[in-house]
Structure formats: structure tokens, C-alpha cells
Amino acid sequence: MIDDQIFSSFGGMVIYSNVIVNKSFDFALEIINIYKALVFNKEFILSKQLLRSGTSIGANIKEAIKGYTKTEFLYKMNRKLMKANTGWNLLYNLKF
């Protein structure tokens, strides 16, 4: 099993020492800020799509990390990358 090495627990949240997990968390925080700005500017449809796709990346990565073999991990990460492209396309369409 590919190890995701739990670094510590903070207030019920598990913090991982995995760089990819940490970067996806930071990305989700940025997406939430963009979502708030879009809602403030009355853009509701694309903002919800962006929020869903941008914040699901971290969960998808953690699921891929749970793969039992390197092949399974790579397959799952590749599938998650295709889903993440949806978020990038939305950002591009919003001209951010």
C-alpha cells in the first residue's frame, strides 16, 4: 500500500506530510476565495461548478494515494488529473 504518512492531527483534521495533498489543500483554499468573489459579483452557476471541481481535487488525490500498487496509484492519479482539468477550464473561461 502506498503510504500517505499522517503527520499530525489538529482539531480533528488530519494533516498529511505529503506535498501533493498539501498543495491540493492550498489550491482548494484559493478556489474558495475565488468562489466568494464570484458570488459577490453575482456569478452563481460557474462559481458553484468551480467550487465543486476545485475542492474535490484533494479528496481525489487522497483516494489515489490509498492505491495498493504503484500501477493503481498512477492510474487513479491520471483519472484525477482529467477531472482537475475541468477546474482549470472553468478558470480559463472566467479569465482569471
Q: Is 18 or 1 the better-scoring residue by pLDDT?
A: 18
Which residues make beta-bridge pairs with 10? 13
Q: What is the CATH number of the domain that holds 73?
A: 1.20.1440.60
Q: What is the pLDDT of residues 53-84, one digit of tens each?
A: 888 888 888 888 877 788 888 888 888 788 77
Quote the domain boundaries for residue 43.
Answer: 6-93
Overall number of domains in the chain: 1
Residue 33 to residues 22, 37, 58: CA-CA distances in angstroms? 17, 6, 16
Q: What is the pLDDT of residues 33-58, one digit of tens each?
A: 999 998 998 988 888 988 998 888 88
d(CA 86, CA 70): 25
With respect to residue 1, please indicate whether it lies within any of the assigned structural domains.
no
With respect to residue 15, please indicate whether it lies within any of the assigned structural domains.
yes
The pLDDT value given to residue 30: 92
Whether the predicted pLDDT of 11 surpasses 70: no
The pLDDT value given to residue 17: 66
d(CA 87, CA 90): 5
Q: Which 3 state secondary structure label does DSSP give 93?
A: helix
